[in-house]
Amino acid sequence: MKLRPYVGRLDDGSEIYRYIVTELSSIFSEPIFHVTQLGRKVLKYADEKTGISVVGKLLHLEADSKEFENLKKLESLGLCEGHYRVIRPLGSRKEISLSLLSPFVSGEDLDYYLEAALLEGGSLLLKEKLQNLSALLIRLHGIENEGPYFYEFERSHVRKIVLKLQKDGILSLDEGRYFLKLFDLWIESFLRFKRKKAILHGDVTPTNFIFPGEGEIVAIDLERMRMGDPIYDLGFVCAEIKHAFLWRRGDWFSSEPYIRAFLEFYCEKKEDSQRSFEEITRDLPFFMAICELRIARNEYLESSYRRRLCEEARKCLFSGLSVLF
């Protein structure tokens, strides 16, 4: 488990303290909360008496987060129950900059198991966790909407990413225009068919999936949940697996067995698993390329590696077009 910075004891006169105690009166009685920082605006409140912890996600007053509403919707659909579930929302009070109150989930995240797979003996464990992840995404993607999907989110998102990469000098102006042309060709091909929309997690980075116990997985951070093409989530998972091996080992080929296993796990419950696998792998390069460019935005990565991610994205887009047209 990662060590987290200790912040201190929560003042029992603070608004957040009073809100937690009032909202969760059946759990806490005059608690003594010790605060640990989990993220930039994410705090863990651990009660000294009961040993029970909750997590508070803080935002500025002007911020517009719909995560609590997203989770309440999923809770009403039963997605907060079972072995493959999303985090349960416990409360929200934006007047005190508390956008979400949720249970603390103890366990390792997917990034831990990706790193373990690079070590001897970790490969079977990673495949097991990817099977759990596929089962969770099947539940989430099972909530469908028949209306046509026009890929406007992807079109806008790609343009923002390309502009950022051009600004950072990772892509030239001509390279950026070339990427946008390739993405437009993909979207043009998608629009020829009526596609079902489904609920997406929307931010399937490895740290957003926690494994609290054997055969269990909990999804967190659903701020970006939306309706869209389910392959968006799948493509981003596959690109994150590829990135983990490329970044840590310099060898993306080693990621292929895990990517294939994850997609096979996802498709095996479908009525026609082989056809589903073929359709997903046909469209996957488009979404993997978006994720690879998104990862390339990160300034903590070396410029040479960021450019390599862009080149991998270009190969994805270009090679996949020959199948579509």
pLDDT tens sequence across 112-123: 999 999 886 678
pLDDT tens sequence across 253-298: 899 999 999 999 999 988 899 999 999 999 999 999 999 999 999 9
User: Per-residue pLDDT averaged across 223-245, rounded?
Assistant: 97
pLDDT tens sequence across 22-69: 999 999 999 999 999 998 899 999 999 999 999 999 986 555 689 999
Q: What is the 3-state secondary structure (H, E, C) of the chain?
A: CCCCCEEEECCCCCHHHHHHHHHCCCCCCCCCEEEEEEECCEEEEEECCCCCEEEEEECCCCCCCCHHHHHHHHHHCCCCCCCEEECCCCEEEHHHCEEEEEECCCCEEHHHHHHHHCCCCCHHHHHHHHHHHHHHHHHHHCCEECCCCCCHHHHHHHHHHHHHHHHCCCCCHHHHHHHHHHHHHHHHHHCCCCCCEEEECCCCCHHHEEECCCCCEEECCCCCCEEECCHHHHHHHHHHHHHHHHHHHCCHHHHHHHHHHHHHHHHCCCCCHHHHHHHHHHHHHHHHHHHHHHHHCCCCCCHHHHHHHHHHHHHHHHHHHHHHC
pLDDT-based confidence at residue 1 (cuts at 50, 70, 90): low
pLDDT tens sequence across 191-232: 988 778 999 999 999 999 999 999 999 999 999 999 999 999
pLDDT-based confidence at residue 146 (cuts at 50, 70, 90): confident
Q: What angle do CA 314, 209, 85 make, to 5 degrees?
A: 125
- Answer whether residue 169 shows pLDDT above 80: yes
Query: Sign of dihedral through CA atoms 73, 77, 80, 85?
Result: negative
* pLDDT for the residue numbered 45: 98
What average pLDDT does the structure give for the chain? 94
Query: Sign of dihedral through CA atoms 157, 163, 167, 173?
Result: positive
* pLDDT for the residue numbered 232: 98
Q: Is 33 left (phi over 0), alpha (psi -120 to 50) or beta?
A: beta
pLDDT-based confidence at residue 2 (cuts at 50, 70, 90): low
**Residue bearing the bigger pLDDT, 101 or 271:** 101
Cα diameter, the chain:
65
* pLDDT for the residue numbered 155: 97
Cα–Cα distance for residue pair 120/217, rounded to 1 Å = 23
Is CATH 3.90.1200.10 the classification given to domain 108-324? Answer: yes
* pLDDT for the residue numbered 60: 64
* pLDDT for the residue numbered 116: 92
**Residue bearing the bigger pLDDT, 323 or 81:** 81
**Residue bearing the bigger pLDDT, 183 or 196:** 183
User: Is the Cβ–Cβ distance between 115 and 125 less than 8 Å?
Assistant: no
% of the chain residues with pLDDT over 70: 96
Task: Report domain extents, the chain.
Answer: 6-103, 108-324
* Nearest residue to 282 (alpha-carbon basis) of 319, 243, 233: 319
* pLDDT for the residue numbered 53: 98
